[in-house]
Structure 1
Amino acid sequence: MKSFRTLLLLLILFAPSLLVAECLTRGTGDMGIIIERAAGSLKVVDTSARRELFRVEGLGDLSHASAVYSRDARYAYIFGRDGGLTKVDILCGRIVKRIVQGGNSIGGAISQDGSLIAVSNYEPGGVKVFSSDDLSLVADIPATTVTDREGNKKGSKTVGLVDAPDQRFVVSLYDSGESWIIDMDTPANPSIQRFEKIGRLPYDALITPDGRYYIAGLFGQDGLSLLDLWHPEQGPRLILEDYGRGQQKLPVYKMPHLEGWAMAGGRAFLPAVGQHSVLVVDSTEWRELKQIPVHGQPVFVMARPDGRQIWVNFAFPHNDTIQVIDTETLDIVKTLKPGKGTLHMEFSPRGEEVWISVRDKDEVQIYDTRTLQQTHRLSVDKPSGIFFTSRAHQTGL
């Protein structure tokens, strides 16, 4: 009887802890997260078993969320539209720390050595840099002040923030038409190279996988701005400035995303703003080779890791479609219809599968990239961004 009372007392004392999920003891190389944009939550997934491991709630406004990973691929850093920055332990399925660092955030990056997290802001503009350990503020870099249409002074929106070699970040300023290289070698005293008049209204940017070229898309004019990070003293130059000339501009329902750009066989594949086409570009001389007519206005143009295929999704009203382009022939080899709200794609690290979020069906669909057939489905509440841990070891992602 005494031992029974003791057991009962222990159950009463420790029952709450029994309800908390234990941390996993495993590698993270085949793990990832899927953003549930409407619920402000995410799912941690096992990409080998194709199953959910945890659901993490309380991440705020994830309507335009992105993520980066720590070098050991255990921690995901989530950038929310509400200015939230959240550190999530994917082995434990829990939030380690969350701060609201701005009023309207558009994304972020992790430094080359993994010690710093930078966030770009629409409101109040500028870039803030935090310790990846405890999210303490390391540097607050205000944006160039501009005058809005009402005559009010404000900081320029910052966009296209990426990490670069040599412990640098590169960012563009939408309202003031600039690109900045931010050297964080001395974190408490960042050194900034400012490049003005790169073009009108840079809306997003990318960095080549080797970390050499930073390319900003321009919403206010045809062409893109290219900055050689090996020779920044040469300044930015305009490339592909004729790609839209003489063509009727279409309404832009959703801005293309350049972060998911594609490189294959010495060529770059980019979404054309306001056109139903994918640009094929020589990535040595940065000149246009061809335009591939596609189903709608491209949003993501992504290469399978081996560069053999390009997968393209589209803005409304064509956002139920994916098209697959053969990079050798430049032909469209498959048109898929996953469903309305096909928002984001992510390849498995070696490219045998692609995971596609289909918001309006509340599911993620998985396709075999060899057969181009759907193989699995996962139930996810209004999914958007999909981010696998392989990103931890890629520049610019």
Structure 2
Amino acid sequence: MKPNTFMPKLAGVLLATCMLAGAAEARGKKLELYPVSDATKGTYQELCAECHGGDRLGGIGPALLPESLKRLRASAAAATIKEGRVHTQMPAFGDQLNDQQIADLVNMIKTPLGAMPVWGEKEIMETRIFNEDYKPVEKPVYESDPLNLFVVVETGDHYATVMDGDTFEPLTRFKTQFALHGGPKFTPDGHYVYFMSRDGWITKYDMWALKVVGEVRGGINSRNIALSRDGKHIALANYLPHSLVMLSAEDLSVEKIFDAESLGGETTRVSAVYQAPERDSFVVAMKDTPEVWEVSTNPNAEPEYDAYVDADNYGKDGAKPTSEGLFALRRIQVDAPMDDFFFDQSYKHLMGSSRDGKSGVVVDMDEGSTIAKIDLPGFPHLGSGISWEWEGKPVMVTPHLRESKISVIDMSNWSVLKTLDTAGPGFFMRSHENSKYAWADVFFGPNKDQMYVIDKETLEIVKTLKPLPGKTAAHIEFDRDGSHAILSIWENDGMIIIYDAKTLEEVKRIPMSKPSGKYNVWNKITFSAGTSH
């Protein structure tokens, strides 16, 4: 569905804000679905389709699909339909609909579509739009260090703030698409940054001009994006449809679409895509099939060990690999599907978590084979893992999503070196090459207001901070030189708190609306070992 306005006018993107409010923490028994009646379909078309699309795939409002609303509580959805939401364009329908009609609409949006939606090159290109007010600049329009800027994603009201990393003063604040996810990705020179929303919208933003350049919708339900080492290509991982989409970073046009299928022909969701800069490639996690893909971003790539293969010809009638160069595809077979990848700094080794959440699996990317399995119960959040040198050997440290612990893994032999007990499951870890400390949150449970500071030499928790009692403290990020650590109070009426990274003393507080992530240009473009990649 092609938008007819550009992002600064997309206030309608908030129409379903409350439909997802609190979804990340929603828990409870599975909703029992029942057939959607013609009357309910008619109600949807009358009241909802104009903004969310007649097929529920979204328009100026987000898609209303179970994939997008997976953890949404039915009661929260019903309350929003009935009461609307203050400060957004989501109206209240309580005077038009009775409780049963509202329940029927909730049932409808939680019901899967009857068939896989089509979202190919034609559909993608029809959504592409550019900012008529944007003009490129030859140098930054500010005096701040462009490599020490932060992008702060504020999911409470769907804005992003660009902040000076030296003065910690905001330079600008602008409207984003609804429900950004996966972390923004910067070009190698830090000039441009790309954002992705759960509804598959990709936004290109000029960090020098402080202006949105353009947008395109590359998927219906998307997981994350990656940018190639040269900054020329964007890879988008999709749950809906089952695809991996390659876009031009210059003009957001479609370059190639991979249908996500195993060698056996089974279709699969794409869990995530990562840039592997040392390999000049993208590495792709598959949700439903035991394969890891590597897609070359080197136009001169050649087939290696019969690994780069053409998915259409491989294995048919004895055909040999023919694909080489840009977007050449390599498939690595593993024992079972893996999620949530971590890479060592050389990108030779990949660690993924098993689907049962009980172990980590290590793959040698050069050899294309599994070389180790690590006992890691409690679902390690490997994508948030960080690494540093400890007593002459590399260690990787990861929080766990389902157990109250942090694991320290010896990467020289892929064994668990130490386990730290915590007050609850965690989500993020961060450090910096110039800091002696690593920081880890307690994201889930009653102790979500705590933040741990870990000594990287002793591997011990040396301080527990509680910056705002009762409020979620999360997602540390460092400035360019590692002298300051910036923490989020993950609430709609939240803030960021800046700490002196050496003394651990508080320096400054800046109010923000649920600042879910803060991303420093320098740390991201240099692939710091202390931050997620």
Shorter-chain TM band: 0.7 to 0.9
Q: Secondary structure at the match of 2:503?
A: coil
Deviation at 1:221, TM superposition (A): 4.3
The 5 Å alignment of 1:89-100 reads 89-100=206-217
2:25 corresponds to which residue?
none
Inter-CA distance 114–259: structure 2 relative to 1 (3 Å threshold): farther
Unaligned runs of 5+ in 2: 1-132, 134-138, 300-323
More helix by share: 2
Deviation at 1:53, TM superposition (A): 0.3
CA contact (8 A) 2:165 2:480 kept: no
Higher RCO (CA-CA < 8 Å; seq separation 6+): 1
How many residues align? The count is 359
Residue identity over aligned pairs, in percent, reads 24
2:386 corresponds to which residue?
261
The 5 Å alignment of 1:106-121 reads 106-121=223-238
Letter of the 1:92 counterpart: A
CA contact (8 A) 1:66 1:80 kept: no
Distance 1:58 1:268 in 2: 34
1:287-338 CA-partner distances (Å, limit 9, x unpaired): 1111111221121122232362221012321321110111221211111113
1:193 corresponds to which residue?
330
Runs of 4+ in 1 over 4 A off after TM superposition: none
1:97-123 CA-partner distances (Å, limit 9, x unpaired): 111110122212111112111121222
The 5 Å alignment of 1:21-170 reads 24-26=141-143, 27-62=145-180, 64-144=181-261, 155-159=268-272, 161-170=274-283
Deviation at 1:257, TM superposition (A): 5.5
Of residues 334, 354, 359 in structure 2, which corresponds to 1:223? 359
Q: Secondary structure at the match of 2:383?
A: coil
Deviation at 1:46, TM superposition (A): 0.4
Of residues 371, 378, 394 in structure 1, which corresponds to 2:503? 371
Q: TM-score, normalised by structure 2?
A: 0.63
Letter of the 2:459 counterpart: L
Of residues 518, 522, 528 in structure 2, which corresponds to 1:386? 518
Q: Secondary structure at the match of 2:441?
A: strand
Inter-CA distance 299–198: structure 2 relative to 1 (3 Å threshold): farther
Q: TM-score, normalised by structure 1?
A: 0.83
Distance 2:426 2:267 in 1: 31
Distance 1:338 1:228 in 2: 41
Distance 2:396 2:176 in 1: 38
Distance 2:156 2:262 in 1: 33
Deviation at 1:145, TM superposition (A): 6.4
Q: Secondary structure at the match of 2:525?
A: helix
Inter-CA distance 189–353: structure 2 relative to 1 (3 Å threshold): closer
Of residues 287, 291, 297 in structure 1, which corresponds to 2:419? 291
CA contact (8 A) 2:228 2:280 kept: yes
2:367 corresponds to which residue?
232
Letter of the 1:236 counterpart: T
Distance 2:166 2:239 in 1: 37
Deviation at 1:365, TM superposition (A): 0.7
Deviation at 1:282, TM superposition (A): 1.1
Q: Secondary structure at the match of 1:195?
A: strand
